[in-house]
Chain A
């Protein structure tokens, strides 16, 4: 290897170059606002804690998809498979006598992670529609397995009879969902921090390279297979934890957690919130879950139509979802104030 003689750069400009990376990783105001609001909702919306918990769990799921889709550029129509695998892992353990919730999370992460690693090898050499089809196929296969393997999963009727132990042996899950909320919030927040760190690391930058131009990546010496295997594993494990959280906080698993509809709706929530910003995933999930809950009381068909329309508009206009709109409006306001 030949070293290229590199002249030392002048200090001031270099500092600004370093700052670019600091700014890249800085907390945005919408992130801070979101998490403060989320924490405060324990007090503000104490009647709706169960719904908010489910929305946050969906948020974690969407964030895991964002890692693959928004950052690595790999679409997945079967991501619900990992969510479901995590849910059923925790559920089956809890039903069969190992009800410690934290252990359930770890087991879910491990098994879903392994599934993700396997999946990554299946899609490694594909791109475009073929990736969609293979991930779709995998999701459908997992659904069929869960459906037919009655003795293990309860099939169509769902998984019942879960006995979830108190968290850390002390905090038992209550009907109002208070413990469930706090438990989920902490887990989700920690994983969100992990996702942030990952995205602002050389590993995350390599994923973005894969998204931006997959041909160039090996040409700078990076193995795409290895990077994707890691990314898929982490993303799947995260989705698995989300599934496990849902199972533990509701103590029931419906077969739909693995379904095609869920894979699609999580994609929609991601686009709604804004792809490639992590917090967009959380925001999109909240908006989607809450809106669906409220609007489908009026008329389910109504809700679907407007979601479809909004999705079309977002895609055609390229606004980048809620986060994109927020950032653009803030930018606009700031620009006017500066003048």
Chain B
């Protein structure tokens, strides 16, 4: 039983990471109608920023995380302003092909700059090891992820639900034209949303690397899972992304532990099945 809770905890932690990385992508795809397959590159960037700042410059972990978020936000904004925004609400296939091109470039660039060997990842001592909670114990870092990620998630959900910024985003996802005619500066809304989504991705990446490692193929490795989470959850739905992330995280870890033979197979099968029944995802709205 304790074993099971441990693994469940690992699954939840993984789900939280997926949510952080994918949350911004869901908003981007639902809000700007832009399929950004290069989103994982922002997470990778966040990861490498953390590694660089900690290993080369001796920065503390949490400060490095902040920079990871900032760096990813800046990088994301630059690419968005120059390239991506021209394809908003355009042909999805063009977006997909473009962002595939971008991913390919970022993977190649990362290999060139940092090499293909996974770097060593450190975290503060108090986050290593395990914590005893009643009748089971759980890895400290995983617990930290769940708590921290949980708080962040709560903040995001509240932000979407309660703030006027969140309301504007929800309105724009629901009906873009109407929102524009309400006098809302949709361009700035997109920019802010993209920046926040990128920052989250960078943060998620920075947090993830201790658990899953880091190498230049990171964006491609997680591309499938990010897409699954976003599409199954429903484009533009924070709750949907959260639900799908947790479900995927738990299923993935449980699956690999208890039925390794079938593993990923089940996840893909379930994804296909869900999409066939609900093409807009569990919580999504049709366009």
Contacts and interface: CB of A to CB of B under 8 A. Distances in A.
* Direct touch of chains A and B (CB < 8 A): yes
A331 interface: no
Contact of A75 (B93, B98, B269, B271): B93
B264 A144 contact: yes
Interface stretch (A3-11, A14-22, A135-143): A135-143
A308 B264 CA distance: 28
B49 interface: no
B86 A133 contact: no
B272 A122 contact: yes
Contacts of B97: 267-268, 271, 311, 315
Interface stretch (A106-114, A279-287, A297-305): A297-305
A312 B272 contact: no
A136 B224 contact: yes
Interface stretch (A58-66, A94-102, A123-131): A123-131
Interface in B91-135: 92-94, 96-98, 100-109, 111-112
A133 B235 CA distance: 13
B35 interface: yes
Contacts of B276: 122, 125-126, 134
Contacts of A309: 101, 105
B268 A128 contact: no
Interface residues of B, number: 42
B227 interface: yes
Among A264, A304, A315, A316, chain B packs the most CB atoms within 10 A around the CB of A315
B83 A316 contact: yes
Given A126-B276, A134-B276, A140-B268, A305 B227 contact: no
A152 interface: no
A129 B271 CA distance: 13
B96 A75 contact: yes
Contacts of A50: none
A145 interface: yes
B103 A301 contact: no
Instruction: Classify the interface of chain B: helix, strand, loop or mixed.
Output: helix
Given A307-B104, A312-B98, A316-B83, A134 B261 contact: no
B166 interface: no
Interface in A310-336: 310-312, 315-316
A112 B275 CA distance: 23
Contacts of B101: 268, 307-312, 315
B74 to A, nearest CB: 20
Nearest to B272: A137
A311 B100 contact: yes
B272 A316 contact: no
A38 interface: no
Contacts of B227: 132-133, 136
A140 B264 contact: yes
B271 A137 contact: yes
Contacts of B100: 264, 267-268, 308, 311
Contacts of A134: 272, 275-276
A145 B265 contact: yes
Contacts of A252: none
B231 interface: yes
Interface of A, helix, strand, loop or mixed by DSSP: helix
Given A137-B268, A305-B109, A130 B93 contact: no
Interface in A39-84: 69, 75
Contact of B102 (A129, A137, A312): A312
B45 interface: no
Contacts of A144: 263-265, 268
Contacts of A305: 104-105, 108-109, 112
B26 to A, nearest CB: 11
A183 interface: no
B102 A301 contact: no
Contacts of B235: 129
A129 B29 contact: yes
Interface in B240-287: 261-265, 268-269, 271-272, 275-276, 279-280, 287
A1 B100 CA distance: 50
A308 B92 contact: no
B81 to A, nearest CB: 14
A302 B268 CA distance: 32
A125 B98 contact: no
A311 B102 CA distance: 9
B261 to A, nearest CB: 6
A141 B272 CA distance: 10
A296 to B, nearest CB: 11
Contact of B104 (A137, A260, A308): A308
Contact of B224 (A125, A140, A148): A140
B228 interface: yes
B269 to A, nearest CB: 6
Interface in B67-99: 83, 86, 92-94, 96-98
Interface in A146-193: 148
A128 B92 contact: yes
A129 B98 contact: no
Nearest to A130: B279
Contacts of B271: 133, 137
Interface of A: 69, 75, 122, 125-130, 132-134, 136-138, 140-141, 144-145, 148, 260, 264, 267-268, 271, 301-305, 307-312, 315-316
22 contacts: A75-B96, A126-B275, A128-B92, A128-B287, A129-B35, A130-B279, A132-B96, A133-B228, A134-B276, A137-B268, A144-B265, A144-B268, A260-B224, A302-B108, A305-B104, A305-B109, A308-B100, A308-B106, A309-B101, A311-B98, A312-B101, A316-B86
Q: Which 4 A-B pairs have the closest CB atoms?
A: A308-B104, A311-B101, A308-B105, A305-B108
